[in-house]
Amino acid sequence: MINQYAGTLSDKDLLYDFLAVEVMEKILGFNSHKSVFDVFSLDNSRTVFRYVDRRSFVDLVGKFYGSKWIDGQQTGNPQLRAELMQREFDNLQELRALGLNTYPHCIVRPLAVNRLVSSVLVEEFVSGVRFDSYIWEAINWGKGDELRRKLKDLAWFLADLHNRSQKSDAANQTRGLSYFDKIVDHLFYWQIISSSQRQYFFDLRNRWAASGILGTSRLVLTHGDPIFPNFFCQGEHGIIGIDMERLWAGDRAMDLGCIVAELKHLFYLNSHDIWGSEPYIQHFYESYFSYLPRDVEDFTTLTSRGRFYMGCYELRISRNAWLDLGYRKALIDEAERCLRI
Residue 12 CA to residue 162 CA, distance in Å, equals 44
Strands laid side by side in the 48-53 sheet? 4-8, 37-41, 48-53, 59-64, 120-124, 110-114
Predicted confidence at residue 32, as pLDDT, reads 73
pLDDT per position as a tens digit, 118-156: 999 999 999 999 999 999 999 999 999 999 999 999 999
Say if CB 243 and CB 138 are below 8 A apart. Answer: no
Q: 118-154 burial string, b = 16+ CB within 10 Å, else e?
A: bbbbbbeebeeebbebbbeebbeeebbeebbbbbbbb
Q: Within 13 Å, how many C-alpha atoms sit on residue 212's CB side?
A: 0
3-state secondary structure of 138: helix
pLDDT of residue 20: 96
Asked whether the predicted pLDDT for residue 1 surpasses 90, the reply is no
What percent of the chain stands above pLDDT 70?
100
Overall average pLDDT of the 186-199 stretch: 97
Residue 129, beta-bridge partner list: 233
Model confidence over 246-270: pLDDT tens digits? Answer: 999 999 999 999 999 999 999 999 9
Residue 97: partners with Cβ closer than 8 Å, 6 or more residues away: none
Q: What pLDDT band is residue 2 in, cutting at 50, 70 and 90?
A: confident
Q: Give, in order, the Cα–Cα distances in Å from 273 to each of 22, 208, 257, 267.
A: 51, 28, 19, 7
β-bridge pairing 105-107 and 110-114? unpaired
Averaged pLDDT, 224-236: 96
Please report which confidence band the pLDDT of residue 331 belongs to, taking 50, 70 and 90 as the band edges.
very high
Residue 273 — very low, low, confident or very high, per pLDDT cuts 50/70/90?
very high
CB of 124 within 8 A of CB of 59? yes
Ordered structural domains, the chain, with CATH:
4-100+108-124 (3.30.200), 129-339 (3.90.1200.10)
Residue 212, sorted as left (phi over 0), alpha (psi -120 to 50) or beta, turns out to be left
pLDDT band at residue 235 under the 50/70/90 scheme: very high
Mean pLDDT of 199-220: 95
CA distance 79 to 27: 26
Of 10, 127, 1, the C-alpha closest to 57 is 127
Write down the pTM of the prediction: 0.96
The confidence score (pLDDT) of residue 71 equals: 82
Helix/strand/coil (H/E/C) assignment for every residue in 263-285: HHHHHHHHHCCCCCCHHHHHHHH
CA-wise closest residue to 270 among 128, 129, 130, 141: 141
**Mean pLDDT score of the chain, rounded to an integer?**
96
